[in-house]
């Protein structure tokens, strides 16, 4: 990729998009095209068309999506399905019609079957039923990945798809109800410490296993794939190891400095029992993640402390 290339990062204010922007700027890309939601509504097909027709975009990182944790997915199924179908269809189609050289679509590890063999290989896609708590989001993301494959086959459009595991880092959504587990726990332990609360309640049984990747590692992998990968198969992006939610909660308590008790609320859903990606395809291409979970947690907690005033509720 030429450093003068015109690069559109869709969703640049989100966790993933903002990390991609940091990475691209650090690497010297000087023609980033960024639009806030108010400036360009990606659910409006005509507006997306006008944008691509006017801007002569070379590369697209499609990181715009309606996202959320286990409760948000369950509470807003229509939004999760419709918003994501619209955003990705409009952007992929307009990008192809307006001569974009290459597009990278961001999927998610939840596209794989609930009971896929672990660690999950890319070949597990569509081999079994999905986890019901996030199937709306998963169905949309599967459709996005299929759009990339279909435009590649029918039109020769160079669209690729990356499937990241659970992500965390600066810029995350720290909402107590609608966020993912890691930012929710960072905030809950922080508030419990500040209030002197004797106990923190963690949702579910604490036994599900999850893998976490720092979003700066993801951004490095995405730039790597944009520069070196051109095939229709998706590529998993993960850390390669997982831990239980109980182990995660213990680690978060240590980082925050919370000394009270942990308890579990089994009335809240556990979700899928395990979700660990097989990252051998990406490793085979020559890329490895670098930020260990505990180190990433310290860094993310520092970011949280600095940005508390401006966090989404
Ligand atoms: P998932 O990876 O798609 O299941 O999404 P989440 O990150 O929302 O949840 C992961 C796991 O963490 C599930 O087993 C949740 O029950 C558990 N969990 C524990 N406490 C929390 C919390 O405060 N918020 C969320 N979102 N999940 C939690």
Going by pLDDT thresholds of 50, 70 and 90, the confidence category of residue 309 is confident
Instruction: Determine the average pLDDT of the residues in 283-294.
Output: 98
pLDDT of 313 strictly over 60: no
pLDDT at 311: 77
Tokens at residue 5, please?
């290339």
Q: What domains can you pick out in the chain, each with its CATH number?
A: 7-173+211-241+274-292 (3.40.50.720)
Sign, Cα dihedral of 255, 221, 184, 269: negative
Cβ pair 179, 173 in contact under 8 A: yes
pLDDT at 284: 98
Going by pLDDT thresholds of 50, 70 and 90, the confidence category of residue 312 is low
Instruction: Give the DSSP letter of residue 123.
Output: G
Looking at per-residue confidence, does 265 or 308 come out higher? Answer: 265
Task: Output the pTM of the full model.
Answer: 0.95
Instruction: Determine the average pLDDT of the residues in 127-132.
Output: 95
Ligand 1 atom at minimum distance from 68 CA: 8
pLDDT, tens digit (0-9, with 9 covering 90-100), for 36-87: 999 999 999 999 999 999 999 999 999 999 998 888 888 999 999 999 999 9
Q: Is the CB of 203 under 6 A from ligand 1?
A: yes
Instruction: Determine the average pLDDT of the residues in 108-119.
Output: 95
Instruction: Determine the average pLDDT of the residues in 82-103.
Output: 98
Q: Is the CB of 69 under 6 A from ligand 1?
A: yes
**Average confidence score pLDDT of the chain:** 96
Percent of the chain with pLDDT over 90: 93
Q: Whose CA is nearest to atom 13 of ligand 1?
A: 270
Q: Whose CA is nearest to atom 19 of ligand 1?
A: 203
pLDDT, tens digit (0-9, with 9 covering 90-100), for 210-220: 999 999 999 99
Tokens at residue 7, please?
């690069």
Longest Cα–Cα distance of the chain, Å, equals 60
Tokens at residue 229, please?
């990968």
Q: Say how far apart CA 245 and CA 222 lie, in whole Å.
A: 27
Going by pLDDT thresholds of 50, 70 and 90, the confidence category of residue 204 is very high
pLDDT at 176: 83
Instruction: Determine the average pLDDT of the residues in 123-134.
Output: 95
Half-sphere exposure of 79 (CA within 13 A, CB side): 9
With DSSP H G I counted as helix, E B as strand and the rest as coil, what are the percentages for the chain, rounded to 5?
45, 15, 40
Q: Is the CB of 110 under 6 A from ligand 1?
A: yes
Q: At what angle do helices 181-195 and 245-256 cross, to 10 degrees?
A: 40
CB atoms within 10 A of CB 32: 16
Residue 46 CA to ligand 1 centre (angstroms): 37
Cβ pair 244, 283 in contact under 8 A: no
pLDDT at 181: 96
Tokens at residue 150, please?
């279909």
pLDDT, tens digit (0-9, with 9 covering 90-100), for 234-276: 999 999 999 999 999 999 999 999 999 999 999 999 999 999 9
Q: Is the CB of 16 under 6 A from ligand 1?
A: no
pLDDT at 205: 98
CB atoms within 10 A of CB 30: 10
CB atoms within 10 A of CB 133: 19
Cβ pair 197, 253 in contact under 8 A: no
pLDDT, tens digit (0-9, with 9 covering 90-100), for 159-198: 999 999 999 999 999 988 889 999 999 999 999 999 999 9
């Amino acid at each position: 990729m030429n450093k003068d290339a015109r690069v559109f990062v869709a969703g640049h204010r989100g966790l993933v998009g903002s990390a991609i922007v940091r990475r691209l700027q650090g690497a010297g890309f000087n023609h980033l095209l960024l639009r806030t939601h108010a400036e360009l509504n990606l659910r409006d097909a005509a507006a997306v068309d006008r944008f691509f027709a006017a801007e002569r975009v070379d590369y697209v990182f499609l990181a715009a999506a309606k996202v959320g944790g286990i409760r948000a997915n369950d509470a807003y199924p229509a939004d999760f399905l419709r918003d994501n179908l619209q955003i990705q269809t409009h952007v992929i189609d307009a990008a192809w019609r307006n001569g974009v050289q290459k597009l990278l679509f961001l999927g998610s590890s939840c596209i794989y079957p609930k009971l896929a063999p672990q660690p999950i290989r890319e070949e597990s896609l569509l081999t079994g039923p999905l986890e019901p708590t996030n199937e709306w989001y998963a169905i949309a993301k599967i459709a996005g990945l299929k759009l990339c494959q279909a435009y590649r086959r029918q039109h020769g459009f160079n669209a690729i798809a990356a499937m990241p595991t659970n992500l965390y880092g600066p810029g995350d959504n720290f909402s107590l109800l609608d966020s993912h587990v890691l930012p929710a726990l960072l905030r809950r332990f922080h508030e419990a410490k500040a209030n002197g609360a004797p106990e923190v309640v963690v949702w579910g049984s604490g036994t599900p296993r999850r893998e976490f990747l720092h979003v700066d590692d993801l951004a490095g992998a995405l730039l790597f794939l944009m520069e070196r990968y051109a095939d229709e198969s998706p590529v998993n992006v993960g850390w390669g190891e997982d831990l239980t939610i109980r182990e995660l909660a213990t680690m978060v308590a240590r980082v925050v400095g919370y000394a009270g008790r942990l308890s579990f609320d089994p009335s809240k859903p556990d979700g899928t029992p395990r979700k660990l990606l097989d990252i051998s395809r990406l490793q085979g291409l020559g890329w490895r993640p670098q930020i260990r979970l505990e180190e990433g947690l310290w860094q993310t907690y520092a970011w949280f402390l600095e940005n508390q005033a401006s966090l989404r509720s």
